[in-house]
Amino acid sequence: MRIDGALLEQRLDELYKIGTEPGGGVYRPLYGSAWAEAGDCVERWMKKAGLEARRDAVGNLWGRLDGTKKGKVIVTGSHIDTVRHGGRLDGALGIVAGLTAVEALLKEKGKPRRTLEVVAICEEEGSRFATNFWGSRAIVGAIDSPDAAMAEAMRERGLDPATVASAARDDIDTFVELHIEQGAVLETANVPLAVVSAIVGTAHLELAVTGRPDHAGTTPMDMRRDALAGAAAMVQAVESIARSLGKPAVATVGKIRAEPDQINVVPGRVVFTVDLRHSDPGARRALEERTRSLCRTIAAERGLELEVRVLHERPPVPMHAEVRAVLTRAAQECGVQATELVSGAGHDAQILAARCKVGMLFVPSVGGRSHCPEEHTDPGHLELGVRVLVRALELLAY
Amino acid sequence: MRIDGALLEQRLDELYKIGTEPGGGVYRPLYGSAWAEAGDCVERWMKKAGLEARRDAVGNLWGRLDGTKKGKVIVTGSHIDTVRHGGRLDGALGIVAGLTAVEALLKEKGKPRRTLEVVAICEEEGSRFATNFWGSRAIVGAIDSPDAAMAEAMRERGLDPATVASAARDDIDTFVELHIEQGAVLETANVPLAVVSAIVGTAHLELAVTGRPDHAGTTPMDMRRDALAGAAAMVQAVESIARSLGKPAVATVGKIRAEPDQINVVPGRVVFTVDLRHSDPGARRALEERTRSLCRTIAAERGLELEVRVLHERPPVPMHAEVRAVLTRAAQECGVQATELVSGAGHDAQILAARCKVGMLFVPSVGGRSHCPEEHTDPGHLELGVRVLVRALELLAY
């Protein structure tokens, strides 16, 4: 089916004007004014496309096209909030693509058999409150009452914090989302499209290494208990373990802090974080266990103490086999041999998987850039992604 | 000669009461009120001991005992300022020991042949202004005009910033100082006293490693340019190089900072410092060159950029052979086989060496602790240090 590529780009441009930040990019934090403005914009588009728009109790925006038969619905969309200095495509693409796809289907194919909905999920990024996946967690009924600050922010948007439980749905059959890869695997492999096989499981650890602060001049090398030299060996170990486990294992030390942080004092304490990801639950655990074990060995060898704290843990979530098959078939029918890819980033689909079948399509990110103003995908790739999404929705709902 | 050990401890206690800080230790920053109070206290002691006290243009406090013959003078003492949360002995010991020694000599031996002076040097630590060795640099005529903030601080103490050049002296023959080791070499070797052979040369480098910030989930290990993984390899290299060069080489990474400092972002840039020390100029340079070379190699292997900036550089300063011989003989005559030790820390002697013969004695630091409230030396070791100092001053001035 033909897609209006110019309209797609124009809508993405329009959303990217909402919440612009000095220094580049946009910021549309949950329940902020830019967030509200972007929602109003999408709602106008939904109505214009002939969809019935409504907002649920947490502010997820739904655009519904009733099917001719009763039964569970097919949903597509993404999140409307952004990180600080966010780009033009993360989240926005899934909403605009879903709307464009459903609009095209209605125009070309008429009413679907199954009800189709486009959703602008209110929050995924956690960049205002510590609430990652607030919107999708509300849909699967997995949120608690908002705290005072958040409740106040909801009331400012006319939402009643007491009713968040009513956002839960059990009538969704399938959720499909088009998203940018946010990495450079597709670009490097010169592949225009991927069907996501799974979303990785993540563990965030905090490692605190304690040695002894010493004078950098008067303490011979063999009398030191240097927390930073030990931590450096651990950072190296984290990298080696992920490399040796092989793809899709990744491990990252993103934050590090040394104390007392003086040029002429041997660091007595270092705290650093480790972000570990794998799509296989066993391999994810192995990654963590090897990291803990090797870091313990390094600490023991150097007379250092080591404390490991788990900050956050999420299991891997496989995409549903049926949805993957539909997406793969849709790609083939659009003339594309899509690759399979593990998503290293988190997405709403991993939450929605608790209540419905889920699947995702990735289009390439130029240079792998995301969460920044440089976020970009070739317009041809965007259009291809939407064409495959249209065909997949057609296969699912018509 | 007998030393009044109780008086020594009592004077150290008295100084340690001046400038006490919440959280422990003392802080006597240059030209502050605690600094002034400590100076007044030492001045009273000098006068009581029969010395003629005067302050020079930068606030160094001199206590003079005229010799029976003309000629250059013999000086002993140390600095009166402290770091934050400083201990009881760093600096204070050299002043109290010098005063106690000269007092004892005057009492027991009468007027010296050569003039003897005790000095409380105004500043060595650089812990208020970036002025390390301000007092000793003034004595050798190696200071510029103070900046506005410092000039104001001087005026508050009745000092005229325009006259700092007048603090320079060219009539000092020899400077000897008793100091704590500030490391644990003597304690570990179970040796009560050391004659310092040299003060190490120091280079402070800042290394900036630039890679590329990437999403920690979506960027496979083999597509990263992780600045922190590279920096960790460099931190390891710095340690290995110092170990392989052998004593007295030391190398320390004391500060490290990663950007963007987020748990789920591969660090794009890391800045860290390296403190390199050696008593031999060639070995000090070799330490620096090997560090630069190995870090360059690590950066190149990992596709990282590396910038190296020299923040500070001081050459090693050997202690004068004649003074070392006098100190060694004095120790022997006090029944001690003193060891020779390289000072890994900086001291005023390294500055004064430009204008006179210099020498230093070290007594053990319990646990190697210094620049902290735990700074401690066995009273027997303190007394021994003073006895050897007395004998050395006697050999030099009588």
| Predicted confidence (pLDDT) per residue in A55-96, tens digit | 999 999 999 999 999 999 999 999 999 998 899 999 999 999
**How sure is the predictor about A21, in pLDDT bands with cuts at 50, 70 and 90?**
very high
DSSP A227-255: HHHHHHHHHHHHHHHHHHH-TT-EEE---
**Structural domains counted in chain B:** 2
Asked whether residue B117 falls in the same domain as residue B98, the answer is yes
- Can you give the CATH number for the domain in which A211 is found? 3.30.70.360
- Contact yes or no for A208/A309 (Cβ under 8 A): yes
What is the torsion angle, in degrees rounded to the nearest 10, for the CA atoms of residue A116, residue A120, residue A124 and residue A126? -160
Amino acid at A390: V
Within an 8 Å CB–CB cutoff, is residue A199 touching chain B? no
DSSP A85: T
Boundary residue ending a domain (B282, B314, B346):
B314
Within an 8 Å CB–CB cutoff, is residue A339 touching chain B? no
Helix (H) or strand (E) run with residue B317 in it: strand B317-318
Within an 8 Å CB–CB cutoff, is residue A232 touching chain B? yes
Asked whether residue B70 falls in the same domain as residue B187, the answer is yes
Residue found by looking up tokens 């390439």 in the block: A364
- Can you give the CATH number for the domain in which B336 is found? 3.40.630.10
Q: Are strands B116-121 and B73-79 parallel, antiparallel or unpaired?
A: parallel
Asked whether residue B301 falls in the same domain as residue B326, the answer is no
Asked whether residue B205 falls in the same domain as residue B257, the answer is yes
Separation between Cα atoms, residue A75 and residue A63, nearest integer Å: 10
What is the torsion angle, in degrees rounded to the nearest 10, for the CA atoms of residue A374, residue B266, residue A189 and residue A353? -90
Asked whether residue A289 falls in the same domain as residue A363, the answer is no
Task: Collect all residues of chain B within an 8 Å Cβ-Cβ radius of residue A314.
Answer: none
| The token pair that represents B226 in the structure block | 């992780």
> Which residues lie closer than 8 Å to B222 by C-beta, 6 or more apart?
A243
pLDDT score for A93: 98
Q: Are strands A194-199 and A339-343 parallel, antiparallel or unpaired?
A: parallel
Boundary residue ending a domain (B270, B298, B314):
B314
Asked whether residue A218 falls in the same domain as residue A326, the answer is no
pLDDT score for A332: 98
Q: Which of A240, A237, A255 is nearest to A296 (CA)?
A: A237
Find, in chain A, the residue whose alpha carbon is nearest to that of B244. Answer: A221
Question: Of B132, B215, B265, B274, which to mutate for an interface test with A (greatest number of A Cβ within 10 Å)?
Answer: B215
Per-block mean pLDDT, blocks of 10 residues, chain B (398 long): 91 97 94 98 98 98 97 98 94 98 96 98 91 95 93 96 97 98 96 97 97 94 97 98 96 96 94 96 96 98 98 94 98 96 96 97 96 95 98 98
pLDDT score for B1: 81
- A159–chain B nearest CA distance, Å: 32
Amino acid at A186: L
How far is Cα of residue B158 from the mean position of the Cα atoms in its chain?
27
**How sure is the predictor about A142, in pLDDT bands with cuts at 50, 70 and 90?**
very high
Asked whether residue B99 falls in the same domain as residue B167, the answer is yes
Asked whether residue A195 falls in the same domain as residue A207, the answer is no
Contact A343 B218 (CB under 8 A): yes
What domain range is B213 assigned to? 201-314
Separation between Cα atoms, residue A66 and residue B93, nearest integer Å: 88
Asked whether residue B51 falls in the same domain as residue B121, the answer is yes
- Contact yes or no for A250/A291 (Cβ under 8 A): no
CA distances from B364 to B180, B184, B342, B360 (A): 6, 7, 13, 13
Q: What is the pLDDT of residues A143-158, one digit of tens each?
A: 989 999 999 999 999 9
Q: Partners of B117 in the beta sheet?
A: B64, B75
- The burial class, CB within 10 Å (0-12 / 13-18 / 19+), for A55 is middle
Asked whether residue B79 falls in the same domain as residue B180, the answer is yes
pLDDT score for B131: 84
- Contact yes or no for B255/B204 (Cβ under 8 A): no
- A216–chain B nearest CA distance, Å: 6
Q: Which of A234, A314, A303 is nearest to A274 (CA)?
A: A234
> Which residues lie closer than 8 Å to B70 by C-beta, 6 or more apart?
none
Asked whether residue A62 falls in the same domain as residue A178, the answer is yes
Asked whether residue A64 falls in the same domain as residue A211, the answer is no
